[in-house]
Amino acid sequence: MKRFRHVTVLEGGISAERSVSLRSGAAVARGLAEAGYEVEEVDVQTTDLVLPPNTDVVFIALHGDFGEDGTVQETLERRGIPYTGSGPEASRRAYDKKLTREILTARGLPMPRGVVVNRPIEAPPFPWPVIVKPTRQGSSIGCHRVTGPDQWPAAIRDALSYNSEAVIEEFIPGKEITAAILGERVLPLVEIRPIGGMYDYRAKYTEGMSRYLCPAPLPTRLTEKISDLALQVFRALGAEGFGRVDVRLTPRGEVYILELNTIPGFTRTSLFPKAAAAAGIEFPRLCEEILNLARCPC
């Protein structure tokens, strides 16, 4: 017997990730319909959230502001409507890279050296190359790998243009690995090999611009190390339901946490569905499992 029947999928949104969210939401809606649910898609274009009157549960497929930052979750909590993913506070902590850094470093979890700035500075406090990115943004929007001083002024200005705060981090050489979490289970790891060397917005959402190896071809001890660390991050930030932890793996086997995504993408190039498929979970079943983990503020 299904826990819910009438599902509303929230997609689109008001953030810079709107186009990605529309694709994620459409994919989720198709998957849930295949799984036997009555589904209605709502293209969110303002913060004035209007839901179909027969909504039993909301599947949040909104990325960025008013999606991952805890605000839509607060709205649904006040209305007593069940919804997928993490609660308001955990969403806010994970979305804000400054808060994420503070919480994880206080727990002794490994992150790249970094500082947060609220104005342009003449040079980063770490040797080139460095990574600079907005504190509250996703999909690598506003994120730059800066290899020298000639690139620096434009990169720091762009990163600050989104929400007036930016994180500057040392660049960690090595492999990009992601760990998808479903409930309390870490799915097979994915190694990402962007064709251009940087896993930026174009590499993420353009088919053929990145190669994905799943399960990631790693020794068992490293797979277990990354999986365990991902769960520690998930729990430290108070996340629920599902999420995806991105890390860097150095040639020496050191692991550094980059971030936790509380609403990872569900597009054709997205990583979470790839990890689920490698675990034998077909897309409709994945959507249903996430739905069954919905948070109920009733």
Q: Digits of tens for pLDDT over the chain (298 positions)?
A: 889 999 999 999 998 889 999 999 999 999 999 999 999 999 999 999 999 999 999 999 999 899 999 999 999 999 999 999 999 999 999 999 999 999 999 999 999 999 999 999 999 999 999 999 999 887 578 899 999 999 999 999 999 998 889 999 999 999 999 999 999 999 999 999 988 666 666 666 667 778 999 999 999 999 999 999 999 999 999 999 999 999 999 999 999 999 999 999 998 778 999 999 999 999 999 999 999 999 988 6
Residues 122 and 178 in one domain: no
Residues 61 and 98 in one domain: no
Spatial contact of 67 and 263, defined as CB atoms under 8 Å apart: yes
Query: Which structural domain range is residue 265 located in?
Result: 94-110+172-284
Residues 101 and 229 in one domain: yes
Whether 35 is in a domain gets the answer yes
Spatial contact of 126 and 113, defined as CB atoms under 8 Å apart: yes
Whether 157 is in a domain gets the answer yes
Residues 193 and 280 in one domain: yes
Q: How many domains does the chain have?
A: 3
Q: The pTM is what?
A: 0.93
Instruction: Report d(CA 204, CA 269) in Å as an integer.
Output: 7
Residues 186 and 162 in one domain: no
C-alpha dihedral (167, 209, 242, 285), degrees to nearest 10: 170
Residues 188 and 268 in one domain: yes
Instruction: Report d(CA 185, CA 213) in Å as an integer.
Output: 19
C-alpha dihedral (241, 105, 249, 115), degrees to nearest 10: 110
**End position of a domain, from candidates 146, 170, 194:** 170
Whether 151 is in a domain gets the answer yes
- The residues that are catalytic are 17, 139, 205, 244, 246, 259, 261, 265
